[in-house]
Amino acid sequence: MEMKNNHLFLVLFLCFSLGTNLSIGGYTISMNESVSSGQTILSSSGTFELGFFTPGNSFKYYLGIWYKNISSQTVIWVANRETPVSDAAHLTIIQGNLVLLDKFQSLVWSTNISRSVPPKNLVIAVLRDDGNLILSDLSSNSSTPLLLWQSFDYPTHAFLPGGKLGYDKRTQRKQALISWKDLNDPSPGLFSMELDPQRDQLVIKWNRTTQYWASSSWNGRTFSSVPGMRLNYIFNYSYIDNENESYFTYSLYNSEIPSKFIMDVSGQIKQLLWSTSLDDWYPFWAQPTEQCDVYANCGAFGVCNNVNSSCNCLSGFKARSDAEWNSNNYSSGCVRVRDQEVQCNGITEDKDSFWMNSIVSLPASQDTNITVAEASQCRSACFNNCSCNAYTYDVSGACSIWTGDLFNLQQLSKTETEKTIFVKSGSPEDQTKAKKSTKLVVLLSSTTAFIVLFIGSFSYIYYRRRRRRMTKGTDRINDTQGTQISHLDKIGGGEIIDVPYFRLETILVATDNFSNANKLGQGGFGPVYKGIFPGGKEIAVKRLSSHSGQGIDEFKNEVTLIAKLQHRNLVRLLGYCINGKEQILLYEYMPNKSLDTFIFDGELCKLLDWKKRYDIILGIGRGLAYLHHDSRLRIIHRDLKTSNILLDQDMNPKIADFGLARIVEGRRTEAKTEKIVGIYGYMSPEYASDGLFSLKSDVFSFGVVILEMISGRKNTGFYQSEEALNLLGYAWRMWIEERAMQLTEKSLLESCNRSEVMKCINVALLCVQEDSNDRPKMSDVIVMLVGEGDTISANKSLSFGETIVSSGEKFELGFFKPAQTKAKKSMKLKALLSSITALMFLIIGSFSYIYYRRRMAKRADRSKGTQGAHKSHWHKAEGEAKVLMNENSDEAIDVPYFHLETILAATDNFSNANNLGQGGFGPVYKGIFP
């Protein structure tokens, strides 16, 4: 009886100490119980669930733990990942071990506890609320249960808050995260992550051997080379190093947010949080940041595209598995078009012995380096080596030879230094057939290109003519006289720009000859005036000064960029004008002028309470994030400041002045200039000193703007000399000394939300860090700003709002698998080529005929004298220009205009005899033209 009471006490103690309500069949597995297919056990709060699952469309069963209340099943631990079972398997406790038995009662998996546990001891398994499955002996003489085993010590592909990733110095056992083989196969994949205890850093390996990424060493707070780890209020990272073990772990300040740290099938380690608004996992950070930096991402002989992270095969190769490539799994790589080994003995070298592949980065390491006098010697050295797969040669005489499979090839952008590798093509039969098919492909491509060029030129001429008519119509609504002069080609370098051109006379009338009464202010490149077109439409006219330093290049840059951008937080360009030395831009009118007008004025600043300022900060951030990540172009603004933030009638912010903006392509995020322009208070350190600008330069400027909006002080004119030389230094000192709220402008103290102010100050300080690598991306800035929560003190974290945009996701813009045409199909291809050519010419002929007939019909219709009054809306009727305008876009509509007299005659003065019926907006009549 005493023993039974002791057991009962230990069971109750375990329940309370582990935070789990012990209930047979609910949260535990006892020695006389088992879990079979269709049965599960839950943690006490219902957060985690243990049971059998079948990934994807598989019929294989795995024992695992997953999040219970997340819409997409998220498995975080798998017991039998190498040995799946059927649905007749079950989990139970035998001789103190958790064991998984198949339908034949054979052992599949076990906790494999080496120490012996007496059969009479009470051993129990409990699934805790932190996702840890523990096995404990309740019969211990100790007052606390004896822990026998826990899943946290044996992570598979993921580990949760409170878990460990490390090295046991006593047993020499390493813990590692090993990726799944693919998204629907939990068996061990190619990628693994572990802790290097010698260097105190995380490393990722391919195939358990080849290391391709390593973090920096632990600096006491984080691994500093992982920007997402630094200065955040969501995760608390720790590194423990003592005489027994070294391990890395983490926790959440808000433990209610589901999270996971995984070694992903993509070859990246990812820290993810569950977003209820997105109903998906949000990647907080990932390393390596670029998919193409993952070792063997595209497999053997595959080339990774840096722009969209897709893969294609080298010339002469094809995908090894079409099914895998179609599912975006490229790890199987490529094989030669003909599945034969490369032959060399007894074969004569010719010009088709190698495939030339340009604009690719070279494989990781070559097998042989030799010095030769000329390229032909390097070529022969590879050709005569039956094991050689590829070679490179440079003008210095360096010859590199690769004998194994080629991995880590990357497609470079055209702006990067071109590198060429020559890959052995295969057998002579391959070469002969390849030559024939290549000629056929060239012929087919040439014919297709000619046809496309013809259609494109035809369409371009038609579009140009149509745009010219529309531009003239737009200008004449503003009482223009004389001939319309188009400057579209002068601005866009031959590219049609969808921005109306206005004559100088029209603008002079609208601004009252640039009178001082209409002057709105003075920008960095010249004055800005208010203008009013006939009909009352208000515009802002930016007149570039000849002394401003903004030349025709900057002017062209601003016109072409804004014409291609559409976002609610970017100012809209309505038109432009070039006349002699006059360079003028027409924008939508912003009645509340610029942001600096309010925040630096002692009285006007009171009109912007904290809610409005917070909305403005978010608006500027979203506009900047659009420029950096979401627009068709990746754009660096380079001149973000409060005077370039305009406010509409509802105080919505609009980023303006794109004269200094630059476009960056591909993976590039930075550039350099010798001409440093802008306001030093908003310039990042690297730009001000070395002319280096990047996306992170705009992030720095954004941080300055936030601090100025909160403090109401200019960074450049800051005079708190006893505290710091500028606003940024002062803000850092206030933050470190936990006096950050002292930055807040006095007029905001009553209306401000303290947690939002502190959050914004924190984000601003992250943005203005001296090292550009430490600054967050704008997409991450938006996530931090829209995060929900009462406070950002050390025991709270930021959650996610409805405007989270998934970042770090790999957008598949499409992948390209080169297919080599076989010689035996050459006749079919020739016939296909002839058919396509004939069909295309038939289409072109038909298109041209239809266009000609329609144009002749329009001319005939317009030439008719409809009582002498029917005119196109592009021509003057009775001395007055008539153009139908779209109310919402200022765009001229290409629809013929008819005089009222013509319509009255056609309908017999709207007689009842011609009334066809009543429409929703009025009656409909039948009319007859002469």
What positions carry a catalytic annotation? Answer: 639
DSSP H or E stretch at residue 76: strand 75-78
Tell me whether the omega of the peptide bond preceding residue 653 falls within 30 degrees of 0, making it cis: no
Which pairing describes strands 280-287 and 398-402: parallel, antiparallel, or unpaired? unpaired
> CA-to-CA distance for 22 and 28, rounded, in angstroms?
7
3-state secondary structure of 851: helix
667 Cβ contact list (under 8 Å, min separation 6): 290, 306, 307, 413
Segments of 685-811 assigned E as strands: 692-694
Helical residues (DSSP H) of 51-207, grouped into ranges? none
Mind giving me the DSSP string for 856-885?
HHHHHHHHS-STTT---TTSEETTEE---B
Residues 6+ apart with CB under 8 A from 208: 192
CA pair distance 821, 819, nearest whole angstrom: 6
C-beta of residue 107 within 8 angstroms of C-beta of residue 101: yes
Contacts of 166 (CB under 8 A, 6+ apart): 174, 175, 195, 197, 240, 245, 246, 247, 248
Per-residue CA distances from 540 to 391, 480, 571, 650, 921 (Å): 61, 19, 11, 17, 36
Q: 3-state class of 437 per DSSP?
A: helix
- Say if residues 705 and 694 touch (Cβ distance below 8 Å): no
CA–CA gap between residue 113 and residue 110 (Å, rounded): 8
Q: How many CB atoms sit inside 10 A of residue 583's CB?
A: 25
In 712-825, which residue ranges form alpha helices assigned H by DSSP? 727-736, 754-767, 778-785
Positive or negative, the Cα torsion across 503, 509, 515, 521?
Answer: negative
Contact between 884 and 897 (Cβ < 8 Å): yes
How far is it, in rounded angstroms, from Cα 273 to Cα 815?
29
Residues near 678 by beta carbon (within 8 Å), at least 6 away in sequence: 638, 639, 641, 660, 687
Sole residue written with tokens 């006491």: 220
- Distant-in-sequence, close-in-space partners of 261: CB < 8 Å, separation ≥ 6: 158, 159, 160, 177, 250, 269, 270, 271, 272
Give the span between the Cα atoms of 878 and 902, in whole angstroms.
13
Q: Where are the beta strands (DSSP E) in 264-397?
A: 269-275, 280-287, 302-305, 311-313, 317-319, 334-336, 354-357, 368-371, 390-393
Cβ 243 vs Cβ 169: under 8 Å:
yes
The half-sphere exposure of 319 on its side-chain side, counting CA atoms within 13 A, is 19
Distance of alpha carbon 126 from alpha carbon 29, whole angstroms = 7
Q: Would you give the end-to-end CA distance of the chain in angstroms?
A: 115
| Three-class DSSP category at 382 | helix
Q: Which of helix, strand or coil describes residue 360?
A: strand
Tallying the residues shown for the chain, one arrives at 930
